[in-house]
Amino acid sequence: MKSASLTTGLLGAFSLLAPLSVWAADIPKAAEKQPMNMTAIVMFFIFVAVTLGITYWAASRTKSAKDFYAAGGGITGMQNGLAIAGDYMSAASFLGISSMVFAKGYDGLIYSIGFLVGWPVILFLMAEQLRNLGRYTFSDIASFRLERMPVRSFAALGTLCTVILYLIAQMVGAGQLIRTLFGLDYSLAVVMVGALMILYVAFGGMLATTWVQIIKAVLLLSGATFIAIAALAAANFDLEKFFTMALEGVKSSALADHKKAVADGRNVLAPGGLVNDPISSISLGLALMFGTAGLPHILMRFFTVSNAKEARKSVFYATGFIGYFYILTFIIGFGAVVLVAPDNQYLDLVKGTLRGGNNMAAIHLAHATGGDLFLGFISAVAFATILAVVSGLTLAGATAVSHDIYANAIMKGKVDERVEMRISKGAALVIGVIAIWLGIAFEKQNVAFMVGLAFAIAASANFPILILSIYWKGLTTRGAVIGGLMGLFSTIIMVVLSKTVWVDVFGHAAPLFPYKDPAIFSMTMAFVGTWFFSITDGSERAKREKRAFEAQSIRCETGIGAVGASKH
């Protein structure tokens, strides 16, 4: 009995990646293409015009590699905090978590908390260390004392795997979401997103990418604040009344999830609900928490501020904005129960879901509280959100190609900056075209597993090497490369053999690997592998690398020798 309740509870608590996966899977399919939404399209074009203006301005200020990769190091802690929050507040978390609260109630909050708690730990153990040791990418830190060629190549591989998988999931999600919101054709939507992100990245570099992200974060936070206040206003700002209305909303709801909650006699304001096994649940929690600390496009942001002090402030602000955002999504989810669920115009009574799928909870609530105009605004913000996130990803991928592979692994650091930047821009173009192509190719595929896989790779390949190079003196090149590759490949193999790919994508009858999320195993393999192949490494190079740890840790602690802001 005890173990059953443990299982139930842990799952409810730990199935953190679900909102990420849920959204890609749940986003409305082709049949539900909406009529053209003119307000949304006009607002979106205003956003595009403003961001292209910013790109033009940023292009004139992007002269050196440091400008291109790190916005010249001149972003303030507050701005960077908003940009980091923007990277994290993707359309997936906005629509996914609010719909999770809408459909399951309290459990949605448990998910948000799981998303948030990684941030303080990143601040305490990584933020200033990253800033003090690195220049443009996280592999700067790994190759600080390890041998450039192998470590850079490995880190670039980890970055590109994470970025491409994440990009495909975002592109497919973008095409489907935009079709639903704007009534645009899927392929057209994907091409538009791809073309815009190439423009932002290739011409405006990190400066444009950061400002696009900041503007979107401000728009999203304001929009979500408005929806939440309007929802609370329906209960005269009386929380007791608000939640009473939500409970009544569930009782009288025509939706399948709500009917099930009523039939099970479950209180949606209390934890409980989903069932799975604890290993998968813990594994998901690990992937989420440490995956965040290994996402290349987020790590890159720590190099855009001028020093460790600003890096710390960035995480402080980011945690505040993200936490505030998750509290809003909680209110929005229940607000949708109160205002959207009882209104037939928002329901698909045949399927027993919201019209366009349950992920539309926040969107429908925007319409219920602010009419067509506000619906247009929120739709445009959702589009802007996707655009900002894919731009950050593309920049991270392009930087891995030009800075890690070309400038360091191939040219050993002896490189003309102008050539390096040209390669970076070319790489942004190539990655953008690949993303468009795969986005269209995967239109009908179930790509839900890709975000989970990206997080798992970030947690099992990028994160172990990064954290060990900061803190473990004994790390050697051999250990880092072998251990990192073990983490990378074991993650991919386990995911391919798991139910999500082996059964759901390839159509086999039963999975060969029983757990949906491999992080608990793949992270262990990466750490143990790195440790084992480091301690057994008796080479001269290994001795040199261990000796160099002291100088590294002095720079890491004090920031002496760290790269400052460039002067304009």
Partner 1 sequence: MDQQVMDSGQIERIRNNPKYQELVSKRSRFAWILSIIMLVMYYAFILVIAFSPASLGAPIAKGSVITIGIPVGALIIVGAFILTGIYVRRANGEFDELTRQIKEEAK
- List interacting residues with partner 1 (CB under 8 A): 2, 5-6, 8-10, 12-14, 106, 109-110, 112-114, 116-117, 119-121, 123-125, 128, 140, 143-148, 239-240, 243-244, 247, 267, 269-272, 285, 308-309, 312-313, 315-316, 319-320, 323, 326-327, 330, 408, 413, 544, 548, 550-551, 553-555, 557-561
Query: What sign does the CA torsion over 92, 93, 98, 104 have?
Result: positive
Considering beta carbons, is residue 143 or 399 the nearer one to partner 1?
A: 143
Considering beta carbons, is residue 209 or 469 the nearer one to partner 1?
A: 469
CA distance 354 to 253: 11
Residue 478 in tokens:
């051999």
User: End-to-end CA distance of the chain, in Å?
Assistant: 66
Least distance in Å: CB of 108 to partner 1? 10
Tell me the C-alpha to C-alpha distance, in Å, between residue 282 and each of 225, 285, 518, 528.
32, 5, 10, 19
Considering beta carbons, is residue 315 or 401 the nearer one to partner 1?
A: 315
Residue 248 in tokens:
């009544």
Considering beta carbons, is residue 432 or 464 the nearer one to partner 1?
A: 464
Least distance in Å: CB of 194 to partner 1? 33
Considering beta carbons, is residue 32 or 277 the nearer one to partner 1?
A: 277
Residues 6+ apart with CB under 8 A from 562: 131, 132, 133, 307, 308, 555
Backbone angles phi, psi at 509, to 5 degrees: -75, -45
Least distance in Å: CB of 407 to partner 1? 11
Tell me the C-alpha to C-alpha distance, in Å, between residue 121 and each of 295, 344, 493.
15, 45, 29
Q: Which residue has the tokens 């179930």?
A: 446
Least distance in Å: CB of 77 to partner 1? 9
Least distance in Å: CB of 465 to partner 1? 15
DSSP string, 142-206: HTTTS-HHHHHHHHHHHHHHHHHHHHHHHHHHHHHHHHHHH---HHHHHHHHHHHHHHHHHHHHH
* DSSP for residue 567: P
Considering beta carbons, is residue 9 or 392 the nearer one to partner 1?
A: 9
Least distance in Å: CB of 482 to partner 1? 20
Least distance in Å: CB of 382 to partner 1? 23
CA distance 100 to 79: 29
Backbone angles phi, psi at 348, to 5 degrees: -110, 90
Considering beta carbons, is residue 36 or 551 the nearer one to partner 1?
A: 551
Least distance in Å: CB of 286 to partner 1? 12
Least distance in Å: CB of 530 to partner 1? 19
Considering beta carbons, is residue 131 or 297 the nearer one to partner 1?
A: 131
Considering beta carbons, is residue 106 or 515 the nearer one to partner 1?
A: 106
Name the burial class of residue 343, with classes exposed (0-12), middle (13-18) and buried (19+) by CB atoms within 10 angstroms of its CB: exposed
CA distance 29 to 77: 40
